[in-house]
Amino acid sequence: MKNNNLNNKSLRSLRKYLTFVIFTMIIISILLAAVFTLALAYLHLLPKVGASPFGFLFGILGISVAIASFFAYYINEHILRPIRTLSDASKTVATGNFNVRIDVRTDIEELNATFDNFNNMVTELNSIETLRNDFVANVSHEFKTPLSAIEGYTMLLQDEALSEAERNDYISKITDNTRRLSSLTGDILLISKLDNQTFASEKLSFRLDEQIREAILTYEPAWTDKEIELDIDLPEINYTGEENLLLQVWLNLIGNAVKFTPKGGRITVIMTEFQDSVVITIADNGIGMDEDTAKHIFEKFYQGDTSHKSEGNGLGLALCKKIVTRAGGNISADSTLGKGSTVTVKLPK
């Protein structure tokens, strides 16, 4: 509100200022015309130009008023009116409506540039707002599913006639959903920390090969259960970086490879050291992805494969991308539906 008032005030004062300038110009023209006519009359030059002193004076006055009126019209149409449009559009944006655009074009380059900047700013604000709304909707949805499950199983548990097996089954479902909620909150917290420019974590020197082995071992029960064959080539490499964040990358990528590879499949983890970078590839011969899925996998909350929906939240690869980009590296995925996927991470040394 304060800004709007300021805007109006400056608009009014600009108009007053321009009116003052134009009228000062008219008065100065009248005075000059009068002095000029008196001078001509004094020097007896008026008869020579064939005009009476008053006719001459009024002629010059008419021309001055016409020029001043033209300026007044020009300034109003080409400067004041566009500025008023900008002020009205800004007021609309201030109310939270980001769909407003200024289509007006003037002959003044600076004003056109201001309108372009305004339109770009509103487009940017609109996309941030859309992203924020989508994010809130996705978070609410992801929370709702496990919460409803916990509520349902808790109600079922209240039945005193339940068998021991049923009771244990419901308790384990509640535990799974609680774990899901906990990992969801952890991921959301980490994403929001990474989005915050000021977030900093300590850079340490550590054995990258050992960190990746640790991530592989975390999933041992799952890959043993699925009888997945592992092919690992991890030479000893010391790396300096945000150790805890990078561990999240390997956990997510290896977790996905295990999750999306059926029984009896194969996962290959290879690390290669170059002069100024380290390249890690995690490949599986699992279900793979179609082209459309592969395009979206790094977006927050995107889940391509619906059969494993409850085993994740769609934040894993978005987190990986944020962490790898933050480390100055890049991450890409190459996949064929039904054949498998290869994720490549390149980190600068």
Footprint on this chain of ligand ADP (rule: CB under 6 A): 252, 256-257, 260, 284, 286-289, 293, 297, 302-305, 312-318, 341
Per-residue tokens: 55: 């006719």
Residue 314 or 329: which CB sits closer to ligand ADP? 314
Residue 89 or 188: which CB sits closer to ligand ADP? 188
Residue 71 or 255: which CB sits closer to ligand ADP? 255
Least separation, in Å, of the C-beta of 237 and ligand ADP?
A: 23
Least separation, in Å, of the C-beta of 105 and ligand ADP?
A: 45
CA dihedral 330→331→334→340, nearest 10 degrees, is 150
CA angle 323, 274, 332 (to 5 degrees): 40
Residue 176 or 305: which CB sits closer to ligand ADP? 305
Distance (Å, rounded) from C-alpha 70 to C-alpha 162?
92
- Residue 100, phi then psi, degrees to nearest 5: -75, 140
Least separation, in Å, of the C-beta of 156 and ligand ADP?
A: 27
Residue 62 or 262: which CB sits closer to ligand ADP? 262
- Helices 243-259, 316-326: crossing angle, 10 deg rounding: 140
Residue 58 or 302: which CB sits closer to ligand ADP? 302
Query: Among all chains, which residue has been given the structure tokens 């085993």?
Result: 311
- The residues near 26 (Cβ < 8 Å, ≥ 6 apart) are 64, 65, 68
- Per DSSP, the three-state class of 103 is coil
Residue 241 or 316: which CB sits closer to ligand ADP? 316
Residue 111 or 343: which CB sits closer to ligand ADP? 343
Residue 278 or 297: which CB sits closer to ligand ADP? 297
Least separation, in Å, of the C-beta of 82 and ligand ADP?
A: 47
Least separation, in Å, of the C-beta of 135 and ligand ADP?
A: 15
CA angle 45, 51, 57 (to 5 degrees): 90
Residue whose beta carbon is closest to ligand ADP = 312
User: Position 265: which residue type?
Assistant: G
Least separation, in Å, of the C-beta of 212 and ligand ADP?
A: 16
Least separation, in Å, of the C-beta of 214 and ligand ADP?
A: 19
Least separation, in Å, of the C-beta of 3 and ligand ADP?
A: 41
Per-residue tokens: 269: 């983890």
Distance (Å, rounded) from C-alpha 25 to C-alpha 27?
6
Distance (Å, rounded) from C-alpha 46 to C-alpha 50?
6
User: Position 19: which residue type?
Assistant: T
User: Position 285: which residue type?
Assistant: N
Distance (Å, rounded) from C-alpha 331 to C-alpha 298?
9
284: nearest Cα among 245, 255, 326: 255
Least separation, in Å, of the C-beta of 228 and ligand ADP?
A: 12
323: nearest Cα among 261, 242, 257: 242
